[in-house]
Structure 1
């Protein structure tokens, strides 16, 4: 999803939300949080307020909720909402009827914790006091997945590229994928975007950056001579990440051909482009997700940009045995998120276990 679309969708969400959420978004935009994060959080706020109204815990419309109503909410009210999320089925998706995932529920809790923290500590009414007197979200526990790191790592291992498969994957797209296409239209579309698509896959596999980080890169963020990319990480901080030399050829080729392929206007600074009604625009996140799915399905198994990130994290940990190195490369603020890779079982570990009791 492009930056412009996310901004428009965020503005539509804000029309349904009270003034203090507007203040929250304005404040967090300065930090800055990404527009995507603010949009996703705003959706969570709206769902929470709609539930409160449905349960008669508030009586105002979502856009008119008062600070008085917010101050009357209790820890038990939020616990009820958390229970509702845990037990109610998802609606409006291809998985209607299934329970929400723990990950999606935790996203809701995280969003609400951020909002209540803001209202309790970063606001001031006419009396010089915070908007809410008590941050009830402090008592709300995070949602546990119920899965061990070992279990999660085993699941991930089946959906990432192992060892030389990363190199084989990009070589497959470059030399073999076209042979699978049967229609002239499909072949034309593939050839038109082949250089760009190879560069996108190469940048994912050469850095481990997130989807949003790749999509929001500008031309000036790519330093080919030093094999580095500048990205905006989660939380809004700027970071420079190294690019593996193995994949630089694909990235350099696209950088040279970008203008010839898409004829962007001078004001169009986005690195990765797509054509919409003949005009070059910043590539959508959904477009990138679809092309990764398309190529990976043809190669091995359908994977996502996030699994390409796990691929890099896994391979880097195998090479360095350093969680700190992995966390720095992936732009993590600590090593807890990367601890997952210590539980990935590679071929050497399997062989060691197999030979454990042999002479």
Structure 2
């Protein structure tokens, strides 16, 4: 997603979908879901409708599928589709390539669950009846990985940058990464965006915010003085996230050089920018994902922005042993007690974030 923004890609993708799925996407954009999430959902819906057509389960091509055709789907149809996904090679690989990851298949099922839940609840104005008479997805189980919690934890931990590894990762990018580059062109590209890249990774590690939250940040939402950032969380609510003090210098440097480095127009308020055909524009999620992978692979292991977020959650829990603090910092709504203890958590959370990447005296003694 370089020549166009994510909204353009979403608009193009929805043109291939029937009116009721377009209506669903429109309703979720108001919530709002991130444009990136909706774009991935739209691609999944087109893949699903194509499969139904190719398997002769429906008679219509994706754009022309009717509500009645979806209402006739059975549990067996969906199970066959799930099996198809699990047997299919990953996108961009040959037929004999690696199979889709369990989590990728589960994302597909999650997208379909969201759609069918909407269609089974939405009332048709003409008939005063729901669009669908049944929600076939209610009977579909989640994809199981076959791993125990302990196994999954060990696998995930290898992909996290805990304790000194997080700070050393930034030092590596700043001082050593350039030594891996083989051409003057690659070195020039690295140096051109180095300050921005360091700031992005510092903000991930300093807050644990989501990729969509980071790329949609506006200039005025980063508060260097108070060491906090205001983000739009899932569900459409604004939230203020403390920033670990150890990473503030990277953000302050980028903020002071943003105008000089990218020369944006006065109306370009996106915090993190890239240049396309000489014009500064908001950085795309895919650009950030590639950037994180590019730096992390030679440092330790190829990871994603989500693993940086998971790093912060794991490190914060190690420091506080508080699921409430982790839930609050990451902007998750799964902990019911969050609202009751918000004031206490805010203060404890700020202290924990400031000490997140430093050793306490007890920790030094335990070494």
TM-score, structure 2 normalization: 0.85
What is aligned with 1:55?
A: 55
Inter-partner Cα distance in structure 1 for 2:299 and 2:95:
26
Q: Does 1:108 align with 2:108?
A: yes
Assess, with a 3 A threshold, how the Cα gap between structure 1 residues 170 and 328 changes in structure 2: closer, same or farther.
same
Secondary structure (helix, strand or coil) at the match of 1:274 reads strand
What is aligned with 1:186?
A: 186
Deviates more, 1:1-10 or 1:211-220: 1-10
- Does the 8 Å CA contact 1:34/1:236 hold for their aligned counterparts? no
Cα offsets for 1:18-53 (capped at 9, x unmatched): 110111111111111111111111111111111111
Assess, with a 3 A threshold, how the Cα gap between structure 1 residues 334 and 44 changes in structure 2: closer, same or farther.
same
What is aligned with 2:358?
A: none
For 1:334-349, list aligned pairs within 5 A: 334=334
Inter-partner Cα distance in structure 2 for 1:59 and 1:141:
27
Secondary structure (helix, strand or coil) at the match of 1:189 reads helix
Deviates more, 1:221-230 or 1:188-197: 188-197
Inter-partner Cα distance in structure 2 for 1:234 and 1:222:
19
Inter-partner Cα distance in structure 2 for 1:87 and 1:191:
42
Inter-partner Cα distance in structure 1 for 2:150 and 2:299:
26
- Does the 8 Å CA contact 2:6/2:284 hold for their aligned counterparts? no
What is aligned with 1:241?
A: 241
Assess, with a 3 A threshold, how the Cα gap between structure 1 residues 80 and 174 changes in structure 2: closer, same or farther.
closer
Deviates more, 1:212-221 or 1:283-292: 283-292
Assess, with a 3 A threshold, how the Cα gap between structure 1 residues 176 and 55 changes in structure 2: closer, same or farther.
closer
Secondary structure (helix, strand or coil) at the match of 1:230 reads strand
Deviates more, 1:285-294 or 1:201-210: 285-294
Shift of 1:181: 4.1
For 1:7-22, list aligned pairs within 5 A: 7-22=7-22
Shift of 1:91: 5.0
For 1:195-274, list aligned pairs within 5 A: 195-274=195-274
For 1:1-359, list aligned pairs within 5 A: 1=1, 4-93=4-93, 96-181=96-181, 183-334=183-334
Cα offsets for 1:285-308 (capped at 9, x unmatched): 222222222222333333222221
Inter-partner Cα distance in structure 1 for 2:198 and 2:91:
36
Secondary structure (helix, strand or coil) at the match of 1:176 reads helix
Assess, with a 3 A threshold, how the Cα gap between structure 1 residues 59 and 95 changes in structure 2: closer, same or farther.
closer
Count matched residues.
336
Inter-partner Cα distance in structure 1 for 2:142 and 2:241:
31
What is aligned with 1:356?
A: none
Assess, with a 3 A threshold, how the Cα gap between structure 1 residues 177 and 49 changes in structure 2: closer, same or farther.
closer
Inter-partner Cα distance in structure 2 for 1:89 and 1:302:
20
Inter-partner Cα distance in structure 1 for 2:182 and 2:59:
59
Inter-partner Cα distance in structure 2 for 1:72 and 1:125:
21
Inter-partner Cα distance in structure 2 for 1:56 and 1:6:
32
- Does the 8 Å CA contact 2:274/2:281 hold for their aligned counterparts? yes
Assess, with a 3 A threshold, how the Cα gap between structure 1 residues 267 and 159 changes in structure 2: closer, same or farther.
same
TM-score, structure 1 normalization: 0.87
- Does the 8 Å CA contact 2:3/2:276 hold for their aligned counterparts? no
